[in-house]
Amino acid sequence: MIAASGFLAAALSISNIWPQVWRSCRLGRTQGLSPTSSWLAVALNLCWLTFGLLIHDPAQVVTHAVVGTGNTAVLAALLIARPELRSRRVLARTAAGAAGLAALAVGSAATVTLLGVAASSVATPLGSVVTLVGMAAALPQLLGILFDRNRDLSGMSPARWYLGAASCTCWVSHGWLLHQPTMWLSAGFGLACAVATCMVLRTRTRTARPARPFAVGRPAVAAATGLHLHAAQVRAVLAAA
């Protein structure tokens, strides 16, 4: 049961990033993506990969190795499409947290491999920190689209968020079965954010419909207006003569 829930969660997590990879990397559409959330996603994958290695959970290892590759591709597409995000000032604001998480992951792995500290004693604080940061990391993207009503969301893939909600549901179950509160708490918060994001994207898609041109919607009125102008021009010419 535990193995089945883990690999189902892993399969959904592996699949959920690729609609966004296609939209951002293949189609070049990155509008609406938060650079802070994109940086944190890559760093969090590294941390959860390290956590999976420490607790010997193959589902975590496979998932975050593959998903981390996809998140890295999306981040690269975002930085290429928006050169202003590569400036030192912007990087200091958007990538500082991700750099701290990467240092935490490397330090945790080095503590076990080089200093011989028990993996379980390192995994527990690492999982706690990553859980809290992972909850906070979901907020920039969600708050950005909630409070900026004019933001262009065409670069965000709805399929990615629907699949994300499904995968978070499975990770909640998997973490519960493993008695890993850090796992199911983080996944539960991610589930709430994913559901809220899906609702926003669905609402914006319904309301953002282009208006039809007047002439297309009213052919009879347009034709009648043209005849009226033509008759007025004829009368003007006769009066002048």
List the chain domain ranges.
2-209
Q: Which two tokens stand for residue 123?
A: 């995994």
Q: What are 112's two structure tokens? A: 């076990």
pTM comes to: 0.73
Beta carbons within 10 angstroms of residue 114's beta carbon: 8
pLDDT score for 207: 59
Mean pLDDT value of segment 206-217 = 47
What is the rounded average pLDDT of the residues 127-134? 86
- End-to-end CA, the chain: 96
- Which residue would you say has higher pLDDT here, 92 or 144? 92
Confidence (pLDDT) at 214: 38
pLDDT at 108 over 80: yes
Q: Which of 27-31, 105-109, 223-227 is modeled with the greatest confidence? A: 105-109
Give dist(CA 57, CA 236) in Å, integer. Answer: 88
Residue 129 CA from chain centroid, whole number: 21
The arithmetic mean of pLDDT across residues 25-51, rounded, is 93
Task: Give dist(CA 140, CA 36) in Å, integer.
Answer: 7
Q: How many helices (H) and strands (E) does the chain have?
A: 12, 0
> What mean pLDDT, rounded, does the chain reach?
82
